[in-house]
Amino acid sequence: MKIKDKLSFSQGQRGISLLETLVALAVLGMIASAFLSGLATASEAAFTADEQTTAESLARSQMEWVKNTVYVEDATEYPPAPIPDGSDYVNYSVEIIAEPLHSPDEGIQKITVTVRHSGKMIVKLESYKGER
């Protein structure tokens, strides 16, 4: 038997062509692209949910702060409570607006707490404050 006969393929066997390899790589690339796109979307959704939850918590604590402060007749705003130091509240800011429901002020104000993160409005919470 010659060496050439041992190295040759039998008639039923075929090698993988370049075209088949390219098609397989293209399909694999599309699958990988879809998977990575899904990961990016999930990561962005998790960041947004965390930002929203942190802002809501801050807004609620600020609203409680305002409700427990002394009632100021004809106030247009109240100073916010100090924002705790720490990584949870980095780049968050609070604005508290007061608006008397009646003119003259009869002891009830509408309070609006707005929380921003990096300048973007995240949460706006409204409630009422009464003179005790």
Beta bridge pairs of residue 108: 130
For the chain, the domain total comes to 1
Q: Specify the pLDDT at position 69.
A: 94
User: Does a structural domain hold residue 73?
Assistant: yes
User: Does a structural domain hold residue 1?
Assistant: no
User: Does a structural domain hold residue 111?
Assistant: yes
124 class by beta-carbon count within 10 Å (0-12 exposed, 13-18 middle, 19+ buried): middle
User: Does a structural domain hold residue 112?
Assistant: yes
Q: Give the separation between CA 131 and CA 37, rounded to whole angstroms.
A: 53
User: Does a structural domain hold residue 9?
Assistant: no
Question: How far is residue 122 from each of residues 4, 55, 98, 127, measured CA to CA in Å?
Answer: 75, 7, 19, 17
User: Does a structural domain hold residue 57?
Assistant: yes
Q: Give the separation between CA 19 and CA 29, rounded to whole angstroms.
A: 15
* Predicted TM-score of the model (pTM): 0.72
* Under 8 Å between Cβ of 124 and 112: yes
User: Does a structural domain hold residue 83?
Assistant: yes
User: Does a structural domain hold residue 5?
Assistant: no
The domain of 106 spans 15-130
Q: Give the separation between CA 54 and CA 112, rounded to whole angstroms.
A: 17
The ranges of the chain with pLDDT < 70 are 1-13
Q: Specify the pLDDT at position 85.
A: 79
